[in-house]
Amino acid sequence: MPQVKIVAKNFMDMVASLPAMNLDRLYQNAFICEAILRSMPPLAKKYVLQLLFIDVPVTSKMMEEWVLGDGLSKHKVAIGRLIQLRVLTETLDRKREATYRLNPTFQLNVQKHIVHGGVLPREPMPSTAGLRLPSLEELDAYAVQQWECFLLHLISSSEAEKATNISSSMMKVFQHGLLSQKDDKEPPRLTEGGFQFLLMDTNAQLWYIIREYIGNSEERGLDSADLISFLLELSFHATGEAYNINTLSDIQRTIIRDLADLGLVKLQQGRKESWFIPTKLATNLSISLSDTSSRKQGFVVVETNFRMYAYSSSKLHCEILRLFSRVEYQLPNLIVGAITKESLYKAFQNGITAEQIISFLQQNAHPRVAERIPSVPENVTDQMRLWESDLNRVESVPAHFFEEFPSKDVFEAACDFARECGGLLWENSKKMWLVVKAESFPHMKEFLRRQKQ
């Protein structure tokens, strides 16, 4: 059965898996070099810096001398990563020794950055141009609202009040793997992957969507390398500054419209010209590549009596909580629910694991309880794990059932044989019944035939 695994896979793995040609072309953009460098493991970053002004190949033996004995595994990981990203190229010299040197394009770009300092991709518009910029809080609220609206659309288009401008074909692409629809009459159901997607944090969700977006770009006649470089470039813009949309190329303008629907940028129309304002979601793009350290304000309080209070007015939150709990009543700013055995079983059936629910509750714990350790009461988490293991108590194995043995001896010999080949599942010596695994059935048949002779 093909299974869509929704994992918050690192974006850089995707970049690394690009063909060498594309990757080399990507490095011509200084911003990509910067983003790639920042996404590397610390040791790899350091090596790049160390090798930056060295123009001759460096032998691998020399590089190994840089680390202490117990750091060797980390060293190997770092070097492996660098080679995978084609930042380092490995060559064998005459003495069959591996030597490394930096990718010249990459090296030149980073050198330039270091000597001349970072430059912004484009100058922000002067603030005197008569445009009113939204404050950072407004911008954040806008981004969150856009994103939630998009997510609601994604899981159930009927629930969302506000229509997004994302074409239904684009929506289909995003929904692929998250929703499954048996036939047109039935409303689409969330798949296992879809549930896991909803429980991820925003950055991981964003990357999943962006990855789908990039993966789909070829079909829409866009070059994925262009798209990646534009996205990464976008992440180096300053949050809350306005940028003139005329500085973008035509392709970029279509992209930015899609991104505005996701809440990555806010578009504003002036009298003469229009501009875009990157939100935190956009500028976090390159941050979330490496780690998801940014924490959202939590809203859930779980009590030891399995009741759950969620201080949120968001419909999306309500939908998510409904996935694994029984929502009892809803006040304007509060959702009250209970985690019950039935609600959890429903979640387990949908392929959500107890660990995922627990980590969701912990990540979204209300600031008041987040300081406590553990933020979710232990009896609740333990019970959730127990209920989950309850479901896994019964294991089904294809098997064969034997009865009517001619004699006790034959039965016992058969039992011993089954035990020897590791296929015995169950025996009842009184009734002379025997159950063996399906895979050892041929051996059993052979054995019994020999016994008869």
Partner 1 sequence: MQVLAFLNSVLLLNQLNQVVVIATGFSSCGYVFDSSGSVSQRAESLLPKLEEFVENDESGSPRDNSVNGVGSSLLSGSLSMALCYIQRVFRSGPLHPQPRILCLHGSPDGPGQYVAIMNSIFSAQRSMVPIDSCVIGAQHSAFLQQASYITGGVYLKPQQLDGLFQYLSTVFATDLHSRNFLQLPKPVGVDFRASCFCHKSTIDMGFICSVCLSIFCKHQKKCSTCGSIFGQAQTNDPSVSEGKRETPV
Give the interface with partner 1 as residue ranges (CB under 8 A): 34, 37-38, 42-43, 45-46, 49-50, 52-53, 65-68, 70-71, 74-75, 110, 113-118, 120, 238, 286-287
Distance in angstroms (rounded) separating the CA atoms of residues 348 and 256: 38
Output the CA–CA distances (angstroms, integers) from residue 331 to 155, 159, 326, 343, 368, in the order listed: 23, 18, 15, 21, 20
* Angle 442-443-446 from CA coordinates, rounded to 5°: 85
Output the CA–CA distances (angstroms, integers) from residue 216 to 171, 194, 259, in the order listed: 11, 19, 14
CB 44 within 8 A of CB 78: yes
Considering the complex, state which of residue 53 and residue 426 has its C-beta at the smaller distance from partner 1. 53
Considering the complex, state which of residue 281 and residue 320 has its C-beta at the smaller distance from partner 1. 281
Considering the complex, state which of residue 124 and residue 270 has its C-beta at the smaller distance from partner 1. 124
Considering the complex, state which of residue 38 and residue 408 has its C-beta at the smaller distance from partner 1. 38
Considering the complex, state which of residue 243 and residue 411 has its C-beta at the smaller distance from partner 1. 243
* Angle 9-10-12 from CA coordinates, rounded to 5°: 140
Q: Whole-number minimum distance, CB 69 to partner 1, in Å?
A: 8
Q: Whole-number minimum distance, CB 151 to partner 1, in Å?
A: 26
Q: Whole-number minimum distance, CB 365 to partner 1, in Å?
A: 15
Q: Whole-number minimum distance, CB 117 to partner 1, in Å?
A: 4
Nearest partner of 41 among 73, 8, 18, 6, judged by Cα: 73
CB 309 within 8 A of CB 301: yes
Cis check for the bond before 374: say yes or no (omega within 30 of 0). Answer: yes
Considering the complex, state which of residue 99 and residue 286 has its C-beta at the smaller distance from partner 1. 286
- Taking the CA atoms of residue 240, residue 243, residue 245 and residue 246 in that order, the dihedral angle to the nearest 10 degrees is 180
Q: Whole-number minimum distance, CB 97 to partner 1, in Å?
A: 20
Q: Whole-number minimum distance, CB 154 to partner 1, in Å?
A: 29
Considering the complex, state which of residue 46 and residue 189 has its C-beta at the smaller distance from partner 1. 46
The torsion angles phi and psi of 335, rounded to 5 degrees, stand at -115, 125
Residue 266: CB atoms within 10 A of its CB come to 21
Q: Whole-number minimum distance, CB 174 to partner 1, in Å?
A: 28
